[in-house]
Chains A and B, each alone.
Chain A
Amino acid sequence: MDAFPQLMAGFVAALTPGNVAMCFLGVLLGQVVGVLPGIGPSAAIALLLPITFGLDPTAALILFAGIYYGSQYGGTLTSVLISVPGESSTVMTSIDGYQMALQGRAGAALGIAAIGSFIAGTLGTVGLMLIAPPLAKMALAFGPPEYFSLVVLGLVALAAVGSSVLKGLVAGVAGLALGTMGIDPQVGTARFDFGQVWLLDGIEFIVLTVALFGLGEVLSGCADAAARPVAKVKDVLPTREDWQRSKWPIARGSVIGFVIGVLPATGATIASFVAYIVEKKLARDPSRFGKGAIEGVAGPEASNNAAASGALVPMLSLGVPGSGTTAVILGALIMFGVRPGPEMFTTNASLVWALIASMLIGNLILLIMNLPLAGLFARLLAVPYSWLYPPIIALCIAGVYSQANSIEDCWLLVGFGLVGWMMRRYDWPMAPMVLGLVLSPLFETAMRQSLTLSLGDPTIFVARPLSAGLLACAALALLVPLASLAWQRRPRAVR
């Protein structure tokens, strides 16, 4: 096994002062955006993109990944202290975590969440280290048909996990369609430029991402911008009994979270939900759940952090994101000239291993930051959102303008910001739209190359076993939620 020497090389790269600083900055920012309402990790990464243009890709990736897994820690604070999950993946934590806070045990809930997250994050990173390279090696056999099917799987899976499969699919296809704007990559025909020279370059990923996740989120959240009362944090170190109750939920949550995180597009939210249900089922006294059971905090918290590491497996090894935020990181990598996918472990091995090493370092920083400083971060919750969102809009405008010095991009920001607000307000998922835009060129090139190979015969996509398998997985990802919906509705139809 050659993972160990590569990990050591990764540590050498990650432990340079600049990269340690990026790791610290990333997890700190992640923690802060996890705590602050109205701005998630996707928006934070999107807003930082223009500022990181000149950075080395390794440093940028360490920063973005730090924001991603750091936000999982931050989201816990809001769930426990004010019963408002900062991230959707901490919804389950709020059930028992907030009850613990009401009983004066907010510190214990945050302490066990931090320790559980550290253990799960570390185990998840080890899992990433062991699984991603062989998966990437296998995927090196991919040709254009397999890439086409992989993009179909990624988009369908991401669309299928939202509140409505149909809305997710519409958003995904809209993103793919937006990706066809500009000069056609194969024959150079101008498409959908509407007579505007500036549209010949197409729509930039950063413009759409900042508009949807930045401005759209602000417009959606500004109507409810008041501060909420915050519970006090003390005694963050768990007692012996807390630890006895939590150690197995943390272990189980780590495994459940990682496995679910690896599956395309399932992500941390579903992982934390499953972990909570498992703990409740296994508990000797399930009636304690919902009334401040520490297992109800430990399991889901471990699970959502392990899932964050797991979601990086398909992104790094296949180039298919496992969640909305990894979709944004994927787009950022492409912007930096790094093509995520099977070749990444050979052509950019030092970058990948530096990232993995930095995740181990970042989890340790987060543990240190969260045990003694939980009370300090809790004070951020007292800052009303009404003071925060105007600077976020200003940053959106500056960031979008600066990426191409283009006023037209700022018009697009306002237009797509309005679309993002509507989508958020009416529960239309935005991540498939961003992913569609990012993957559209790969999708089109792979499809056209495949059909050239097969002399126009579309059966090439099902004739090759790997491609057929990926398409079958996409069909399953689409049919399982639809079948479960039909099953849920069945009794009503009988009546």
Chain B
Amino acid sequence: MTRRVSLGDLGLAAGFAAMGLVWLAGARDMPMWERETPGPGWLPFAFGVLLVVLSAAAGLQALRRADAPTEAPGALRKPLLVLAATLAAVLGLEVVGFVAAIFLMLLVLYALAERKPLLGSLLAAAGVSAALHLIFVTWLGVPLPAGPFGG
């Protein structure tokens, strides 16, 4: 049986370690100690050191265990599609407005990611975006981005 290292665990450990390095580098530009009290840089420096050390240990643990289950082919396809649709909706918020951006995101998710019937997808997307507009803009008075269509 082949031993598989969890690339996800390694990636997360590397990401948190990188964050620790950013905190270490940033803290060096701040005062560390002012008279008897830690300055604004002391605690970020300590957190940076801890993050690097603990993340390195988590990475080593992932390498030593190497018992990651095999990923099903295409397991990442749908989550990535959902993430891309979310990203596109956020990109479109200030371009086409909240209602249109959310409507399009919902339509893509229902019709493309979930392969729902087009009419059902259209109705659900329209209903949810209208309900959110009603709750946030009409009831709560939140100025969600209006876009060129004023919605």
Cα–Cα, bound, A160→B128 (Å)? 40
In the assembled complex, B100 has its CB within 8 A of some CB on chain A: no
In the assembled complex, A167 has its CB within 8 A of some CB on chain B: yes
| Chain A proximity of B25: nearest CB distance (Å) | 10
Cα–Cα, bound, A428→B31 (Å)? 33
In the assembled complex, B39 has its CB within 8 A of some CB on chain A: yes
Cα–Cα, bound, A495→B22 (Å)? 44
Of the stretches A6-14, A185-193, A307-315, A350-358, the one at the interface is A185-193
Residues of B within 8 A of A393 (CB): 82, 85-86, 89, 105, 109
* Cβ–Cβ contact A218 & B82, under 8 A: yes
Instruction: Knowing A219-B83, A423-B12, A447-B43 are in contact, say whether A398-B144 is a contact too (CB < 8 A).
Output: yes
Residues of B within 8 A of A411 (CB): 90
Q: Which of B20, B105, B144 contacts A390 (CB 8 A)?
A: B105
* Cβ–Cβ contact B144 & A402, under 8 A: yes
Of the stretches A82-90, A130-138, A171-179, the one at the interface is A171-179
* Cβ–Cβ contact A394 & B106, under 8 A: yes
Residues of B within 8 A of A173 (CB): 47, 50-51, 54
| Chain A proximity of B47: nearest CB distance (Å) | 4
* Cβ–Cβ contact A451 & B102, under 8 A: no
Instruction: Knowing A401-B144, A407-B93 are in contact, say whether A452-B44 is a contact too (CB < 8 A).
Output: no
In the assembled complex, A468 has its CB within 8 A of some CB on chain B: no
Instruction: Knowing A222-B82, A393-B86 are in contact, say whether A405-B142 is a contact too (CB < 8 A).
Output: yes
Instruction: Knowing A177-B20, A223-B78 are in contact, say whether A444-B43 is a contact too (CB < 8 A).
Output: yes
* Cβ–Cβ contact A164 & B61, under 8 A: yes
Q: Which of B11, B23, B136 contacts A192 (CB 8 A)?
A: B23
Q: Nearest residue in A to B143 (C-beta to C-beta)?
A: A405
The binding surface of chain A is classed by DSSP as helix
Indicate with 1 or 0, residue by residue over B132-151, a CB within 8 angstroms of chain A CB atoms.
10011000101111000000
Residues of A within 8 A of B55 (CB): 170
Instruction: Knowing A218-B82, A413-B90, A414-B90 are in contact, say whether A402-B140 is a contact too (CB < 8 A).
Output: yes
| Chain A proximity of B101: nearest CB distance (Å) | 8
Residues of A within 8 A of B6 (CB): 426
| Chain B proximity of A220: nearest CB distance (Å) | 7
Residues of A within 8 A of B26 (CB): 191-192
Residues of B within 8 A of A456 (CB): 33, 35-37
In the assembled complex, A204 has its CB within 8 A of some CB on chain B: no
| Chain B proximity of A424: nearest CB distance (Å) | 10
In the assembled complex, A373 has its CB within 8 A of some CB on chain B: no
Q: Which residues of B from 44 to 97 have beta carbons under 8 Å from A?
A: 44, 47-48, 50-51, 54-55, 57-58, 61, 75, 78-79, 82-83, 85-87, 89-90, 93-94
Q: Nearest residue in A to B90 (C-beta to C-beta)?
A: A410
| Chain A proximity of B93: nearest CB distance (Å) | 6
Q: Which residues of B from 1 to 46 have beta carbons under 8 Å from A?
A: 6, 8-9, 11-13, 15-16, 19-20, 22-23, 26, 30-31, 33-41, 43-44
| Chain B proximity of A155: nearest CB distance (Å) | 11
Q: Which of B15, B23, B40, B50 contacts A186 (CB 8 A)?
A: B40
* Cβ–Cβ contact A180 & B98, under 8 A: no
Residues of B within 8 A of A464 (CB): none
Instruction: Knowing A173-B47, A426-B12 are in contact, say whether A222-B79 is a contact too (CB < 8 A).
Output: yes
Interface centre among B78, B82, B98, B110 (most CB of A within 10 A): B82
Q: Give the 8 A-B residue pairs with the shortest CB-CB distance, closest first.
A: A456-B36, A426-B8, A184-B40, A177-B47, A402-B142, A390-B109, A189-B40, A386-B114
- What is the interface of chain A, defined by CB distance below 8 A to chain B? 50-51, 53-54, 164, 166-167, 169-170, 173-174, 176-177, 180, 184, 186-187, 189, 191-192, 215, 218-220, 222-223, 225, 386-387, 389-391, 393-395, 397-398, 401-402, 405, 407, 410-411, 413-414, 417-419, 421-423, 425-426, 428, 444, 447-448, 451-452, 454-456
Query: Would you list 24 pairs from A and B whose C-beta atoms are within 8 A, ordered by A residue?
Result: A50-B136, A167-B58, A173-B54, A177-B51, A180-B44, A184-B40, A191-B26, A219-B79, A222-B82, A222-B113, A390-B114, A390-B128, A393-B82, A393-B105, A394-B89, A401-B144, A411-B90, A414-B86, A419-B15, A421-B83, A422-B11, A422-B12, A451-B37, A452-B37
